[in-house]
Structure 1
Amino acid sequence: MHPFQRALALLALVGSTLAAAQDYPAAPITMVVPFAAGSGTDAVARIVAKRLGERLKQPVLVDNKAGASAQIGAQYVAKAKPDGYTLFMTTNTSHSANPALFATLKYDPIKDFTPIARVGELPFAVVVGSKLPVNSMKELIDYAKANPGKLSYATPNSTSLAASETIKRIAGIDMLGIPYKSSPQALTDLMGGQVQMYVADLGSSMSMIKAGSVRALAVTTRGPVKSLPGVAPVADTVKGFDLTSWNGILGPAGMPRPVVERLDAELRQVLAEKEVQDQLAQLGFEVWPSSGPDDFAKYVADQLAHWTALIKQAGIRQE
């Protein structure tokens, strides 16, 4: 191709991309969630999707593709057309922890996705069944040491797994991990006494904590959580514990920059609204938006490195 023709072709491509961005969105958008309905991420996604759709004047439909520790949803989005009509509301499970937890992963958390915006942090809490005779993190550790191998804990996601294993390692206690497919199932068994501990997301567990069905001993965040006054951070008792469960929106790799910037701008407006913040706060969710797609991209890369080191230190074996 002649250089002049090549230049014309490039200009045409840029022009069509800009035109598509200006017309965006011209159809409904799908927001894939890699966890089951009723999970904390699902609840956050539905609040954000509804308001985002109102701002974009197109429906944003939540599509739950749960399973395999968020791998099914991640693989689906990675293969989707990068036109802005398939978004991924995900967490550290798919993009920070899985690369260290699974020997074979059918997606690359960096190369296969376009980071758009961080939404915030969904705090997790160490919760126990109401019949277990402990009321603090220290009492749980002491009880576990007095009863080695007799306590079990639920692990329906990588945050629960990494947090539980890190607590075990630092505190020097012996407990048995039981894999689960979903948060609601884990909570049901915690209440029933089939497992005694679960590091649960507040989105799915808050109502049960408030009802007294389960007892919150500590939160995984660095500082206290407003929605759980009086519940101290794990790190106050388990020194060196540092785990953030972030939540953000990405798309397939290769999305047009103007579309990414439009979505980021609209999402930041959504997250700045008091009504949205209040709705998310009821889930225990803390809004913490990134300052742009590039900022979020750096954060995703940094968290991948952090979680890889965390999981290695915890001695968790790859599946």
Structure 2
Amino acid sequence: MIRFFATRRVIAIATAIACIGGVAAGSAAAADAYPSRPITMIVPFGAGGGTDVIARTVSEELSKALGQSIVVEARPGANGAIGSAVVARAAPDGYTLLFTAQSTYSLNPNLMKAPLFDQIKDLVPVASIGRSPWLIVVPADSPMKSVADVAAYGKANPGKLAFPFWQSSVLVTGTIFGQLAGIEMRRVPYKGQVEATTDFLGGRLPLMVTDIAGGRAPIEAGTMRLLGTTTANRSTTFPDAPTLREQGFDVVTDSMLAVFAPAGTPKPILDRLNAEITKVILTSDKVRDRLRQLGIEPTAMSQAEADAFVRSELTRWEGMIRRAGLQKE
């Protein structure tokens, strides 16, 4: 009897090992064949915004490296949560990816009472793309010429300062600044950056938090005035613009663009995507020129480093959100 059970146990263990080996072999085979059909890249913000523009540039070069077309889809809504949820619920096979900004993976989980998905359990970081600052801007004809002027105006005109937001990091940046300045900053929600910028340039908003992708052309054309940046150090695109920290407001909220996949995506596929994306952002002149034009510093990370970064940023932004006094909604 003992010999029978021992034999049966050996058979069970051998079968389990064989199954594990089969799964590993299957994953390796899937990775070798990947990609065998077009890939969908979801951008959870409006078409034409900074994240969308960069996603399309990177995807065009990435498709050449992978030998398959990549279809970029803008799926805006709920500060990026809707498009992100589409990817979180997709099959973990590498054919549905998320190209997003930091607001969706570091801020939304700290701001939503009922998140549409679990950031850590449902999505896995694939690769980083680059880091960019936020810019504090006013209309070119505004009497405000510095963030100190904004603070003074806000104190003298309670309730008259408002700024648009379409993603969480814009919301938190503007709110923290208002809090540090001791002024009321009304928050006006928008579906996307393009719509917000149109209203701002149309004179319907006195202040805006924007990225270099959306702000560079109007600033250089003289229709926007740049008051400061949210990086720890000055932007290489606008080296003459002081940071908010230099001006006495401790706001550091720059954003890291990254690519995610559904949790459970085979590691060989993640490794392949990480290697190809990293190669594209570091070696493609077209991508590097585009990133440089948009004021984004290419930032390469391994898949493991990207995962660690996302987890640490969740904690860092949780502290900033508490500091801003924002409640989960």
TM-score (norm 1): 0.96
CA–CA separation in structure 2 for the residues paired with 1:204 and 1:46: 15
CA–CA separation in structure 1 for the residues paired with 2:270 and 2:164: 37
In structure 1, what is the equivalent of residue 4 of structure 2? none
In structure 2, what is the equivalent of residue 275 of structure 1? 286
CA–CA separation in structure 1 for the residues paired with 2:259 and 2:280: 13
Task: Please point out which of 53, 61, 67 is paired with 2:77.
Answer: 67
CA–CA separation in structure 2 for the residues paired with 1:232 and 1:73: 34
1:103 and 2:113 matched = yes
In structure 1, what is the equivalent of residue 122 of structure 2? 112
In structure 2, what is the equivalent of residue 235 of structure 1? 245
1:152 and 2:162 matched = yes
Instruction: Please list the CA deviations of residues 34-53 of structure 1 after superposition, one character each: whole Å capped at 9, or x if unmatched.
Output: 00111111011011101111
Say which SS state the counterpart of residue 295 (structure 1) adopts: helix
In structure 1, what is the equivalent of residue 181 of structure 2? 171
CA–CA separation in structure 2 for the residues paired with 1:150 and 1:4: 73
Give the gaps of 5 or more residues in structure 2.
1-10
In structure 1, what is the equivalent of residue 297 of structure 2? 286
In structure 2, what is the equivalent of residue 306 of structure 1? 316
Say which SS state the counterpart of residue 136 (structure 2) adopts: strand
In structure 2, what is the equivalent of residue 6 of structure 1? 16
Give the 5 Å matches for 1:63-142: 63-142=73-152
Q: Note the C-alpha offset of 1:119.
A: 0.7
Instruction: Please list the CA deviations of residues 56-79 of structure 1 after superposition, one character each: whole Å capped at 9, or x if unmatched.
Output: 111111111111111111110011
Q: Note the C-alpha offset of 1:221.
A: 1.2
CA–CA separation in structure 2 for the residues paired with 1:209 and 1:307: 29
Instruction: Please list the CA deviations of residues 238-267 of structure 1 after superposition, one character each: whole Å capped at 9, or x if unmatched.
Output: 432221211101100011111111111111
Instruction: Please list the CA deviations of residues 251-308 of structure 1 after superposition, one character each: whole Å capped at 9, or x if unmatched.
Output: 0001111111111111111011233211111112221121x11100000001111111
Instruction: Please list the CA deviations of residues 73-97 of structure 1 after superposition, one character each: whole Å capped at 9, or x if unmatched.
Output: 1110011111111111112111100
CA–CA separation in structure 1 for the residues paired with 2:220 and 2:164: 20
Q: Note the C-alpha offset of 1:196.
A: 0.6
CA–CA separation in structure 1 for the residues paired with 2:108 and 2:97: 19
CA–CA separation in structure 2 for the residues paired with 1:179 and 1:207: 23
Give the 5 Å matches for 1:209-288: 209-273=219-283, 274-288=285-299
Instruction: Please list the CA deviations of residues 115-152 of structure 1 after superposition, one character each: whole Å capped at 9, or x if unmatched.
Output: 11111113210011222111222222222222222111
| Count of matched residue positions in the alignment of Structure 1 and Structure 2 | 318
In structure 1, what is the equivalent of residue 63 of structure 2? 53
Q: Is the 8 A contact 1:122 1:203 kept in 2?
A: no
Q: Is the 8 A contact 1:167 1:241 kept in 2?
A: yes
CA–CA separation in structure 2 for the residues paired with 1:208 and 1:82: 41
Say which SS state the counterpart of residue 111 (structure 1) adopts: helix
Task: Please point out which of 191, 212, 217 is paired with 1:202.
Answer: 212
CA–CA separation in structure 2 for the residues paired with 1:167 and 1:228: 20
Q: Is 39-48 or 7-16 further displaced after alignment?
A: 7-16
Say which SS state the counterpart of residue 135 (structure 2) adopts: strand
One-letter identity of the residue aligned with 1:294 = A
One-letter identity of the residue aligned with 2:70 = V
Q: Is the 8 A contact 1:92 1:246 kept in 2?
A: yes
CA–CA separation in structure 1 for the residues paired with 2:258 and 2:289: 18
One-letter identity of the residue aligned with 2:277 = L
In structure 2, what is the equivalent of residue 143 of structure 1? 153
Q: Note the C-alpha offset of 1:99.
A: 1.4
Say which SS state the counterpart of residue 234 (structure 1) adopts: coil
Q: Note the C-alpha offset of 1:2.
A: 2.3
Q: Is the 8 A contact 1:89 1:249 kept in 2?
A: yes
Q: Is the 8 A contact 1:90 1:248 kept in 2?
A: yes
CA–CA separation in structure 1 for the residues paired with 2:134 and 2:185: 19
CA–CA separation in structure 2 for the residues paired with 1:112 and 1:146: 47
One-letter identity of the residue aligned with 2:66 = L
Give the gaps of 5 or more residues in structure 1.
none
CA–CA separation in structure 2 for the residues paired with 1:227 and 1:3: 60
CA–CA separation in structure 2 for the residues paired with 1:296 and 1:248: 8
